Each structure stands twice: as C-alpha cells, then as structure tokens.
Structure 1
Amino acid sequence: MTYTVTDLFAGAGGSSTGMVNTGLRVVIAANHSELAVRTHQVNHPETDHDLADISQVDFRRYPKTDFLWASPECTNHSIAKGKRRVTGQGDLFGTDEDDVAIRSRATMFDVPRALEAGVLRGRPYIGGVVENVVDATEWMYWDSWIRMFDAAGYHVRPVFLNSMHARDDRAVPAPQSRDRLYVVFWLKKLGRSPNLNITLPAWCPRCETAVDAVQSWRRPDRMYGKHRQQYDYACPNLRCRVVVEPAVRAAAEVIDWSELGSRIGDRTRPLAAATIARIEAGLRKFARPMLAPAGGTWNDGASPVDDPFRTRTTRETEGLACPPMLIPTESRAEPDRVASAFGPMRTQTARQDLALAVPAGFVMRNNTPRGGNEKAAGLCTPFNEPVRTITTAGHQSVVTMPGQHLLMAYYGNGTCTPVTRPVPTQPTGERFALVGGQVQVEDCTFRMLQPKEIAGAMAFPEGYILLGAKRDKVKLLGNAVTPPAAELLMRRLVDMVEAAA
C-alpha cells in the first residue's frame, strides 16, 4: 500500500525528497514563496502545489492524506544576535530583509488547525512530523501547543536529531551538523507507538567492540537540546555507558577538490580582518602537518608530526599532508569557529557564509624521475593544475609546504636538511624529526562554497534542481530539511502503521 502525505515544506523541499524515499506519495505541497514552489515543482512534478500564506489556508480544501509534514516559520524561535525571541508567532506579512513582500511560512498554530480540519471531516491524519529549530522548546506557548495534540487525539514525542546522525539501515545521513527538533505525532487509537529510539554505530574504547550507541542526556530533567551541548551518544552497555562518537560522513565527500580557489595573497580585494583572523585560528588548530601512510602500508591512520615516527619497515612509506579548513565568513562568527573539511559541515543558514581554505601545496608522483634527480621537479603538480593520470598503483600523494620544513637529526654531528633534498642515510633507529615552519595565510587558497556543494552537504540527491540566482539557491537550501531526517522519521511512522495493520 502506498501512503500519502501533505507537505507544508520549507526551502528547497528536502522533506518531500526524503519522504518519497520511504515510498510515500506527496499529494500536495504548499509554501509561501513562488521560487520555492517552482523549485519543488521541477523536482516533484507528480505533486500538486499551492502557493499560499499557510496562515490563511482553509485546510478543508486540501485533499485527504494519511500523513502530514510541517515546517513552520522558525526565525522567531531562533537565537539571533545574542537575543532569544520568544513570541514564536512570525510576522504575517514577513520582515525578511531579502524579500519583504513574501509572507511568513506556516506558524506553529497552523499545525493544530490542520489536525482539527482532518478530525472534523472524519479523516484525521494517521500521524506526522513538525520540524523546527531546537529553541522552539523555549517558546512561551510551547506547553500549550503540545497539549493541542493531545486534545486532537494524538500522542506526541519531541525528537532531537542532528542531520549527521539521521542514519538507519536504509537512510544515509547528511555530512552536515544540523541540530533540529522533530515533533512526531500519531493517533492514540492505533494502540502502538513508533520506534523513535535512534541508535548509531560507534566504537566503544572501553568495551573494545562496535556498539549501537544511544542518546545520553547530560541532565535527565532537561531532555532537550543539541548534540555535544545537552546530549551525547553513549555505549548501551549499562556497565559501561562511556561517551562514544558515532560514525559520521565528512564534508570532504561533497567538496569539489578540482577548484581550490585563488591564493589569498594574490586577491585584488583583500579578505576582511575577521576572516583572516579565523583562518589564522584554523591554521593553528588544523594545519598541523600530518604523516599519512602511503605506498602499500599496513597502517591505516595518520599521526601529527609532533608525535614520534612509527616503527620503520622495509616497505612502509609516509607522506606529509595538511588538512583544508572550512571558514565561516559572517561577521558575527567567533574567530575560533573553524572546522576541518574532514568532519561534518556546520549548519547551513540561508546565506552563503562558508568558505574553503587550503594551505599551499602540490600533488607529487611517487615515481623515479626519468633523466635523474635533476628532473624530479617534473613529478610535482600544483593544486591549480589537473592531476596527472592515475595508475593502478596509485602513486600520487598530496604534499603541503606551509613555510619551510627541515629534517633534523638527533645524533652526533647531525645537521638540518631541507625537505627539498634527499633524506640522509637512515640508521636502524628512529633518528630524524620534521621541523615545520609557520603557515602563512597569504599562501593559502580561498573560495566560497558553491550551491552544489551545499546541496551535497545536506544530502540532496545528485542532479536536484535549484532555481534562481546563487543567493536564492543558498537561501532555499538553508531553509530546507535534510532529506535523510525526513526519510528516517517518516519510515518509523510507516513501519508502525504497517505493523498495526
């Protein structure tokens, strides 16, 4: 049986995309923005659309469906510029600086209105999800709003889920850290509840085994909030309960590494002082040269260069690498709010405010140069040129040169040798250390993340069409739901219904 759904969507329509992945049919989708509706139409042509101010909609004119998804306006529930907004009502005619004429998305109270319409016509929704920011729980009418679900005949459970953790045996999470509140509701008369206990694969260092990590609240009397602030994931073993880190996808998966941007020192328009400060903070935190296994080694992890070398073998080789960084560019961002590109991307807002910075470097082929060592430079290719042909042996390494690096000997009359020269004779013991110079900001490359990369970070499928200018596309994405979150939660509701049938 194919179940149907009404989607009061936000932004680019990721909720519909996720629900379609569960086998649901989105019968009607509604939004106040013409651009959002046209984007949704292009990607979901089988769905009927309503361009409307949801606060003015008579839900009796919408077709009957089994489920409801709603993403009410969230601006007035967010903490912005240091002030907490508690009214939660939204402005009927909108105050968004980018589009004053467009009215607000659905308010929170429009959800109980939709439920009431279903009950009065004798075909209530089986269940559904209301998505919003975590701070909505501090809305002044939160408790009253929750009681409305009970009055309409529904059980309700708030779920606090980060998009990078929206994973089960079918849903693939987004490589973005995006904390959201999902209020899941279902009819009391069903006599059962959906499984909303989301466990995640992780490694427990204490038990020394893979576990299904469970959500663990730091304050049992305050079970709402954000990952790593109000809750963690822990080993499910009651004798252990150590905090563990669930497996997540890296932002690096969706970044276009063929375009690294321009060298900061060569820019005609200098970066803002605050952006430079963030890059400097990121270089101090992330641009530590790493020794990375290469060339057919049994080692599977990198180590910082201020740790000792691993034991040398007759065939093991290691390359030197520095990680790229993701730099927030909005004026209010703190100087230390930088992240490695090899962790999840931070939450995407409706603005293009995230950039990629990469320490200067090059790609090196690990082959013997033809024509002797004087031709060795020909084996190196700058990042801004195409990579040479990849062979089956994978003889290419990424090398960064942040300042001057030296090899320093730890014995007798040992001297320092530039890394541009051959390594001196290796004795049987560990005798050489790598001494790194200061990474210079002007030698890094810099560019803003593009809409295609942002869409990938939110787990929109390849080829998802975004209409409008670049600024419009970023806004559509920043307002949207990540598809895996909608897929996971709605599948849990569908599984509950099918089990009850």
Structure 2
Amino acid sequence: MKNKQIPLFKALTIGLIVFWIDLFCGAGGTSTGIHHSNANAKVIACVNHDAIAIASHQENHPDCLHLTEDIRDFAVVVKLKVLVDELRKKHPGCIINIWASLECTNHSKAKGGLSRDADSRTLADHLEMYLEHLNPDGIYIENVREFLDWGLLRLKEGANSTENFSELALDRKGKYVLIPDKQYLKLLYRQWRNSIMYHGYKYDYRLLDSANFGAYTSRLRYFAIFVKAGLPIAFPEPTHFKKGAGKKRWKAVKDVLDLWDEGVSIFNRKKALVDKTLDRIYAGLEKFVPVGGTFTKVYNSGNDQNRVKSVDEPIGALTTQNSHAVVKTIFIKKYFSGRPEGKVISVDGPAGTIKTVDGQAIVSATHFITQRNSGEPASKLVDLNGPARTLTATAGNQDVISVAHLNTYYGNGGQHSIDEPCPTLTTKDRVALVDAKFLDKRYGTGVPASINKLADTLTVVPKLALVSPQFIDQQFGASLPISTEQPLNTLTTKDKYSLVTPKPWLMDTNFGNVGSDIDLPAPTILASRKYHYLMNPQYESAGSSVENPCFTLIASMDKRPPYHVSAETGEGMIVIYENDSPSMVKIKEFMAVHGIIDVKMRMLKINEMLRIQGFPDGYVLKGTQTDQKKFIGNSVVPIMAQKLIEVNYDAVAEAQNLPKIYSNRIRLSRSGRKTNKVA
C-alpha cells in the first residue's frame, strides 16, 4: 500500500496541542477515541502489519500517515523520526505521545491451555527503540489485565504425566505447548516497566472497565501511562455504575441491537446444534426467562432494603438456619389450622384437606373494599365480587382500594406500585389514590384534595386552584402557567403563549420503543411475550442480559461468534422425540413448564458489534466478515481512549498554565467521515 504523507498543521503560538502516534492501530479504535475527544489532539501516524486493517483505518481517518509495517522494523522508526522532528520545529512546545495497544492474545486467559507464542509476548520490548529515537513525551499502553503477570514460559505436561513419568503435551501441529510458569509470574513485566522508567519516565496504571464509562460492552483492560518528569498522570473517574445507586446505571446493550431480527428456530435445522451450544442456550433460559411474580424474603437481615430480593438477582448467603422464603402474590389461606406456619400454603403444592365447612381461601392481589367501622379484623376487608356492607350515615366507612398508584402519609411512606402489597390501613386516612386532576389548596398547611369531595371554604382571596393536565404556558419574565378557564393576559407582537395539552398515545412495551401516535396505524399487536439474551460461546457461561452491557468481544469471534437468543411464550405442544439429545430434552422440558413455544437464535451482525464496541454509525471496515470481526474484537473501545486523552489533556494544560485550545483540528462526524470542527 502506498503510504500517504500527512499535511502539517499551521504553527500555533499559544495553547496546548498534542500529537499522537498510534502503534498496533488496527482498524482505528484508539484513533476514533482521540478524534472524538474534546482535546486539541490529532493522530498523525498509524502503524500496523495488516494491510486490510490499515485500509480500514485510512478509510475513516484519511489525514494520518499510514504505515503498513511491522513495528519491529527499524525503518518504521526512521520514517516517524522525520515526521516528529518536523512537527517539533513547526509547533514548539507541542506534546508528542505514543499509544501502543500491545499484542494481547498470548497474554490473555482466553487462550486457555493453548500454547503461547513467546516471540509475540516480547513485542513490548521493541518500544525501547521508539523511546531512544523519537523521545516521546508520553507512552500510553493498553492490554489485557494478564499483561501484569508477564513472565517466563514452561513446557506443558501431557495428560498421562505422573510423579515418576513426565509426558510433554503437543499441539495439533505436533509442536510442544508453552504455558506461563507460575513461579515466574510478573518477572518480565517488572523488567520491562523498569526499562522504560530508566529513560526518565514516571509511571502509573489502572484496570478500567469500559462499561463504567458509558460503553455498551463490559471490557476490563490494563491502561498504563508513562510520562516525562514534570508532566502529570491522570485517570478518568467512572460515570456509570453496575447498580446505579442514584447515579447513571450501566447502559443496556438492547439499545444497539436489532431485536426485531430474532433469527432462526433452534429446532428442525438442517444441521443440528451441538450439545455444547444447546447447554449454553439452556443455561441462558434458566437465567433470563422469569418464572413469574416471585421474590425471596430474607429473615436474618437487619436492613429493611435487604430483606426482599428479586428472584432475578443472586440470593444472599444460605445459613444453617432456614432464613429464606419465596413470596408470591397468590397463595392459599387455611382457617382451621392451629399452627401459624400451617395457615398459609403455596398454590404450587397440594391443598389442605377439603372439609364440609369452607376452611380454605385463595388470596390474590386485587381490588377490595376496606371497612373502617368494623371491630372484627376478619370483617375489615370485603371482596368486590360480593355485596358491600351496610352504608351508614357517616358515608365514609368504606373505601374501594385500587392498586393503581397509592401514596402513603405516615412513617417513611411514599409511592407504592400496584404490584406490591397495600400498606397497613389505619383508622385515619393514610393512603391516597393519586389522580391526574385535583384541587391545590394555597393556604396554611393545605394539601391537595380530590375533586370527588366537597371543596373547602371559599375565601375572599382565591386560595383554591384546579390543577389540570391542560393549561396555558406563559413564556416571558417569571410568569407562571395559567388556567384555560380564565381570561388570557395581554397578547404581544411575539408568540408568548402556548396551550399545553397531554395527547393520548400508545405505549409499546417491546424493546426500546417510546410509543406511537394514536392517529397513525398501531404497531403489531403480539399475543406473546419474548425474552432476549446474548449467548457467549467463548466460555462456560449463561451469557448476559440485554439489560446490561455486552460481554467482551474478542478477536476469535470469527470462529466462535456471539449470538442473540430469543424465547417466545404462547400456547402449543412441545414434543420430545426418542432421538433428542439429553441437552435438547432439558430445553423442551423447560419450555413446557414455562409456556415457551419457540427459541430462536442468530449471530450478532457486524453493525451491531460496531455499535457495542462504541464505533460511530457509518464506520467502514474492509475485508471479509471474518476480518471485520477480528478487527472489532482486537480494537480499543473508543470511549476509553477518549476519556483518557481528555483527562490528561486538561491535566497537562493546567500544570503548564496553558489555554485549552479546541480548534484547528479535524474530528469525525457521527457518520465516521471527516468534518472540520471549530469549537
């Protein structure tokens, strides 16, 4: 490939500008992150041995010097030396950094028991000639966390080895298998780190998960920074969290998946799925298809918030005491049992003995009437399906309780979902049904009142206001909205009034949809419910929920690609055949119990994997699908490069008391194309 010479920037007299050399650039994850940062940073040169990767990089980042070379070749250093000297002459005081995403396959635990390539593991050592001849201000390293354990290798023993007999393992090509020697873990890493610091650099590192910074993939990686004395080192703070806890929660990968494309049924395929694949599908069904409205209750927790857990979450530690119980919203209540523990039994087990006197009742979460004038606890609740009790002159002794939206006014009361038990009903009004239309009392300790009750005393000064979803919005000064029932204020020459009216709309609960206009055709109405999850063929894993970030995408996806699996509920007959494998039988039995009529599966698409990894829409990859999957799996998550570049750019600018310049640079648009941007 013909290498393209980069046009140099015009000289800057003030402000901080940072130039980057991207070694092992691949298809451009690091360069994309740098060019999407808000720093005045520019990738000036990229090096990679793969011509197709360089072609992909050049398509999306055309203004870089592209070198299709092996980084171990000294000729690469010579070419970069010419460019670096020219930049330092044109831009006195500029910062020139190197980013090296070192080869990770032969360090990663994903390699399992396969042989390591000792030569590939030493690529990090070749950085020294770049330090000696280019004299960069900083070196940024990205790799798998196992890079920290870089040490010596040893020959792997065969399966038939004993204490008295040692057999060496061979791979498929008949070569000896080399694996890390646990006695010498970290030895070569420390030597490599110290050799760089010997050149006058200080150092720090972090293990950072991309999901904590807003990525759609959970990818834990080692990031190290070496800088010259006098320059700061900074690492970004997480912006997203696994459980949220009042902060931004991890992004759900479903936002970037085409969930409408469910793939093909796992049944009746021309080539039957192997048992290992079926086992992974079954593990995912067990993990991600909910059984129903069930949760676990813990009796030994001192914290109220920890007493109840969803069955979709890990259960707490099981102790020697029987301190966990499964709670459902429907059960059988027995009136004739003397033992408290025998009064309530599950609907999943046999009922108690049926006697001539009604002694058992189904208890279910529904609407009911509460009676406030009864002295007998058993008479306080009345079923809506039967007659109400006698209405008295007080006209307020019975209320219909609807679990639509309840608000409580005592203790630590708050809002309560209709899917939860109703709070305790006391002798005073403590539970209120929230309505969209009410009276607002604007005096004393007045609280909103229902429009279905008598209004309070009307005073000379208006103190009652009808709050309605429809009102006039006044868009000037400090004006407040006004009612549509009163005269409008003075009309000005400019539009200052807006009629605000909630418009009916259809809510679509499927996937990430936000609803549709009732004047437009309704979306497809489905009689079934669907469950989605991602299957990870790389490890013995149940996969991951589409409500969480995707698991790490790796380079070997061309051989073992990730899959999207969907399970659809409905009515039908599940047939188990004599020639079904044990794994298939398990899946069919699960389907029969949980009302699932089909399970579909497909590989993730290239554009989905690009979005998961964090590349912008329209990003171009060259080569076959195998090439493209490898490029994605090998790439740095762009948001990680972006965050590291931004936080260190600000730290250097502040340390040197330089203005932060955000102009004179080229950024990628969302389409992945070049756009001139002046901030």
Letter in 2 for 1:111: L
How far apart are the structure 2 equivalents of 1:37 and 1:73? 16
Distance 1:339 1:326 in 2: 5
Deviation at 1:325, TM superposition (A): 1.5
Give the alignment of 1:234-383 within 5 angstroms: 247-289=249-291, 308-309=328-329, 313=402, 315=404, 321=529, 323-330=531-538, 333-334=539-540, 336-350=541-555, 351-352=557-558, 353-360=561-568
1:128 and 2:139 are equivalent in the alignment: yes
CA distance in 1 between counterparts of 2:595 and 2:269 reads 15
Measure, in 2, the Cα distance between the counterparts of 1:86 and 1:145: 19
Closer, same or farther: CA 128–321 of 1 in aligned 2, 3 Å = farther
- Alignment CA distance shift 1:451-1:436 (3 Å): closer
Q: Which amino acid aligns with 2:34?
A: M
The answer to whether the 8 A contact 1:77-1:87 is kept is: no
TM-score normalized with structure 1 length:
0.64
* Superimposed CA distance per residue, residues 433-474 of structure 1 (whole angstroms, 9 cap, x where no aligned partner): xx9952588810110111111111111111111111111110
SS in 2 for 1:444: strand
Q: SS in structure 1 opposite 2:610?
A: helix
- Out of 137, 145, 150, which is 2:148 matched to? 137
Structure 1 stretch displaced more, 36-45 or 196-205: 196-205
Candidates 226, 232, 237, aligned match of 1:185: 226
Instruction: Supply the distance in 2 between the matched residues of 1:283 and 1:26 (Cα, whole angstroms).
Output: 45
Distance in 1 of aligned mates of 2:111 and 2:52? 28
2:113 maps to a residue whose letter is K
Distance 1:203 1:136 in 2: 25
| Residue of structure 2 in register with 1:70 after alignment | 100
Write the distance in 1 (CA, Å) between the matches of 2:603 and 2:106. Answer: 28
Letter in 2 for 1:152: H
Note closer, same or farther for the CA distance 1:68–1:340 as it changes in structure 2 (3 Å cut).
Answer: same
Structure 1 segment 368-447 matched on structure 2, within 5 A:
400-401=569-570, 437-439=592-594, 443-447=598-602
2: CA distance, partners of 1:144 / 1:440: 59
- Does structure 2 retain, via aligned residues, the 8 Å contact 1:77–1:88? no
Question: Structure 1's 339 and 80: CA in aligned 2 closer, same or farther, altered over 3 A?
Answer: closer
The question of whether the paired residues in 1 share the 8 Å contact of 2:140 and 2:226 is answered with: yes
Q: Residue 158 of structure 1 corresponds to which residue in structure 2?
A: 205
1:82 correspondence with 2:112: yes
> Counterpart in 2 of 1:118?
134
- Give secondary structure in 1 for the equivalent of 2:106: helix
Q: Distance in 2 between matches of 1:356 and 1:286?
A: 13
**Structure 1 unpaired stretches of 5+:** 92-105, 120-124, 168-172, 212-245, 293-301, 361-399, 405-434
- Give secondary structure in 1 for the equivalent of 2:72: helix
What is the CA–CA distance in structure 1 between the aligned matches of 2:117 and 2:200, rounded to whole Å?
A: 26
Whether 1:15 aligns to 2:30 is yes
| Alpha carbons 1:39, 1:467 under 8 Å: kept | yes
Give yes or no for contact 1:290–1:322 (8 Å, CA) kept in 2. no
Which residue is equivalent to 1:176? 217
- What corresponds to 2:485 in structure 1? none
- Preserved contact between residue 202 and residue 226 of structure 2 (Cα < 8 Å): yes
CA–CA distance in structure 2, aligned partners of residues 402 and 277 of structure 1: 24
**3-state SS of 2:616 partner:** coil
Q: CA deviation at 1:490?
A: 1.5
1:24-103 → structure 2 map (5 Å cutoff)? 24-58=41-75, 59-62=77-80, 63-64=83-84, 66-83=96-113, 89-90=119-120
- Deviation string 1:390-447 (CA, Å, 9 cap, x unpaired) is xxxxxxxxxx33878xxxxxxxxxxxxxxxxxxxxxxxxxxxxxx9952588810110
| Structure 1 residue 493 corresponds to structure 2 residue 540 | no
Distance verdict in 2 for CA 1:154–1:86, change over 3 Å: farther
Deviations 1:317-362 (A, max 9, x none): 88885531111235xx31x4322122111111112421011002xx
Give the letter aligned to residue 42 of structure 2. R
Q: Check the 8 A contact 2:253/2:546 in 1, yes or no.
A: yes
Q: Report the identity percentage.
A: 28
CA distance in 1, matches of 2:18, 2:204: 22
Work out which of the residue numbers 149, 152, 161 in structure 1 matches 2:196.
Answer: 149
CA distance in 1, matches of 2:196, 2:626: 37
Q: Distance in 2 between matches of 1:202 and 1:61?
A: 44
Contact 2:572/2:597, CA 8 A, preserved across alignment: no
Number of residues paired by the alignment?
A: 357
Aligned counterparts of 1:51 and 1:153: Cα–Cα separation in 2: 30
Taking the aligned partners of 2:327 and 2:571, their CA distance within structure 1 comes to 18
Describe the shift of the 1:303–1:86 C-alpha distance in structure 2 as closer, same or farther (beyond 3 A): closer
1:291 deviates by 6.1
Instruction: Name the TM-score, length of structure 2 as normaliser.
Output: 0.48
Give, in angstroms, the shift of residue 267 of structure 1.
2.2
Q: Distance in 2 between matches of 1:204 and 1:279?
A: 26
C-alpha contact 2:204 2:233 (8 A) present in aligned 1: no
Counterparts of 1:8 and 1:72 in 2: how far apart (Å)? 8
Decide whether the 8 Å contact of 1:402 with 1:438 is kept in 2: no
Q: Do the aligned residues in 2 keep the contact of 1:79 with 1:85 (CA within 8 Å)? A: no
Seen in structure 2, the aligned counterparts of structure 1 residues 175 and 468 have a Cα distance that, compared at 3 Å, is same
Give ranges in structure 2 of 5+ residues lacking alignment: 1-15, 85-94, 152-187, 295-308, 313-325, 330-364, 368-401, 406-417, 420-508, 510-527, 574-589, 657-679
SS at match of 2:267: helix
CA distance, structure 2, for counterparts of residue 272 and residue 8 of structure 1: 40
Distance 2:552 2:624 in 1: 21
- Distance in 2 (alpha carbons) for counterparts of 1:403 and 1:177: 38
Q: Name the amino acid aligned to 2:27.
A: A
The residue type equivalent to 2:570 in the other structure is M
* Other structure's SS at 1:29 match: strand
Distance of aligned partners of 1:197 and 1:462 in 2 relative to their CA distance in 1, 3 Å threshold: closer
CA distance in 2, matches of 1:88, 1:491: 35
Equivalent of 1:452 in 607, 614, 620:
607
Question: Which among 123, 126, 148 is matched to residue 107 of structure 1?
Answer: 123
Q: 1:437 to 1:262 in 2, by over 3 A?
A: same
**How many angstroms apart in 2 are the aligned matches of 1:327 and 1:12?**
25
Aligned partners of 2:610 and 2:249: how far apart in 1?
21
Q: In 1, Cα distance between the equivalents of 2:142 and 2:625?
A: 25
Give the Å deviation of 1:210.
3.5
Name which of structure 1's ranges 319-328 and 63-72 shifts more when overlaid on structure 2: 319-328
